[in-house]
Amino acid sequence: MNTSFLFDLLKTPSPSGHEEAIQEKWLTYMQTYVEDVTTDLAGNAIATVNPGAPFRILLAGHCDEIGFMVKSIDESGFIYVEELGRLSPLPALGMEVEIHGRNGVLNGVFGANAQHHGGANADLTMDDLFIDCGAESAEEIQSLVAIGDPITYKIEPSHLRNNRVVGRGLDNRTGAFIVAEVMKRLASSLPEVCVQGVSTVNEETNMGGAYFAGSALKPDLAIALDVTFATDYPTAEIGRVGDVTLAGGPVLAKGAPINKKANEHLLQIAKERNIPVQYELTPRRTGTDADQLRITGEGVPIVLVSLPLRYMHAPREVVSLQDIEQEIDLLVAFIQSLRPDTDLRPLIWNGR
């Protein structure tokens, strides 16, 4: 796999609702390998192999990341923010940020009242934090920043020991990356079915990208790729939250929304290929694009394949490149094994 493309995606800010720059990189990469590459009204980026084939698979990984928006600017030029997606204010204090304004990037840092003076306590909320850009007046900031401008942490990806990567928004730019790598391999070794790989937008805020994609493409099976909670670090209680380890292989989901036939087939392929798999439980819903894809059109069977990730929605998250590689291998082998007459009905009734 192309790790430098992964890092390229990770270096590209893609706060939910502002995915154009990362989609452009995804499309540019894809068009080298896949003939049929396009976009839609939501801002999804779509690559298709075997467009005419009778059984259609939608492979979706969201490319948006969590972040912030400029909410207000006070008279001294400090900026207050609104969260873009769900994140904790605690690790934000002291973090450098980039405000993506109309004239380019403005550097800043999250400040708060000193702990010594009664600020920055455990009950810190986002309203206690403000961004200091070094400005000396509101006018100075207003000439550079507009209400609603997106903000991301200023963080570059890097390597840790044992093939691990640390960086911002690994949730879920890794998923968009895996979609691209799977499509690239399928393009050079065509399956019997049609496959549409989609780098979806807006998952962290409204899952609207998945809705646009699923409604337009009307797949026979949708496979959502996202990250899930690794629970192999201090204080994680596996009795309460389940047992998922980094470098333990891709994670399949079990629960009511998941199509059991496709899921069982994934497990079979993993066994044949000696790819370890782990499980997470999604009894009611998955909390991913899969939920939205499932209820598009007349309803779509779904499976979810997740990448183990440590420190979900913290400024920096950690994943294993080995898991990514194994997930790509599993998905390529799975899709190549699917036949156009695949019937995913859980119960096939022919009368008695």
Stretch that binds Zn ion, among 30-38, 50-58, 135-143, 168-176 (CB under 5 A): 168-176
- Which distant-in-sequence residues (6+ apart) come within 8 Å of 254 by Cβ? 263, 279, 280, 281, 282
In the complex with Zn ion, the residue whose CB is nearer, 33 or 311, is: 311
Dihedral, CA of residue 332, residue 187, residue 287 and residue 299, to nearest 10: -100
At 68, the amino acid letter reads F
By the 8 A CB rule, do 294 and 300 touch? yes
Stretch that binds Zn ion, among 121-129, 145-153, 164-172, 205-213 (CB under 5 A): 164-172
Stretch that binds Zn ion, among 55-63, 170-178, 209-217, 292-300 (CB under 5 A): 170-178
Minimum CB separation of residue 86 from Zn ion in Å reads 7
Binding-site members are: 62, 171, 204, 226, 313
Minimum CB separation of residue 171 from Zn ion in Å reads 4
| Active-site residue, from 203, 280, 317, 327 | 203
Stretch that binds Zn ion, among 35-43, 51-59, 167-175, 261-269 (CB under 5 A): 167-175
Minimum CB separation of residue 41 from Zn ion in Å reads 23
Say how many residues touch Zn ion, by CB under 5 A: 1
Query: What stretches of 112-174 adopt beta strand conformation (E)?
Result: 130-132, 150-153, 158-160, 164-167
Site for Zn ion in 75-134 (CB under 5 A): none
Per the structure block, which two tokens stand in for 338?
Answer: 């699917």
In the complex with Zn ion, the residue whose CB is nearer, 171 or 323, is: 171
Binding mask 11-30 for Zn ion (x = CB under 5 A): --------------------
Q: Rounded CA gap, 222 and 46, in Å?
A: 14
Binding-site members for Zn(2+) are: 62, 171, 204, 226, 313
In the complex with Zn ion, the residue whose CB is nearer, 48 or 202, is: 202
Q: Rounded CA gap, 25 and 316, in Å?
A: 22
Minimum CB separation of residue 208 from Zn ion in Å reads 15
- Closest by Cα among 184, 150, 156 to 64: 150
Minimum CB separation of residue 154 from Zn ion in Å reads 19
In the complex with Zn ion, the residue whose CB is nearer, 253 or 344, is: 253
Angle in degrees, 0-180, between the axes of helices 20-31 and 3-10, rounded to the nearest 10: 160
Q: DSSP code of 187?
A: H
In the complex with Zn ion, the residue whose CB is nearer, 98 or 171, is: 171
In the complex with Zn ion, the residue whose CB is nearer, 186 or 201, is: 201
Q: Cis bond leading into 259, ω under 30°?
A: no
Q: Is 171 in the site for Zn ion (CB under 5 A)?
A: yes
Helix residue ranges per DSSP H, 88-220: 138-142, 170-188, 208-217
Residue 203 appears among annotated catalytic residues: yes
Q: Rounded CA gap, 10 and 6, in Å?
A: 6
Minimum CB separation of residue 177 from Zn ion in Å reads 15
Stretch that binds Zn ion, among 16-24, 169-177, 274-282, 340-348 (CB under 5 A): 169-177
| Alpha carbon distances (Å) from 228 to 53, 191, 197, 299 | 32, 28, 20, 24
Helix residue ranges per DSSP H, 83-160: 138-142
Nearest residue to Zn ion, scored by beta-carbon proximity: 171
At 328, the amino acid letter reads I
By the 8 A CB rule, do 332 and 179 touch? no
Binding site for Zn ion (CB under 5 A): 171
Annotated catalytic sites, by residue? Answer: 203
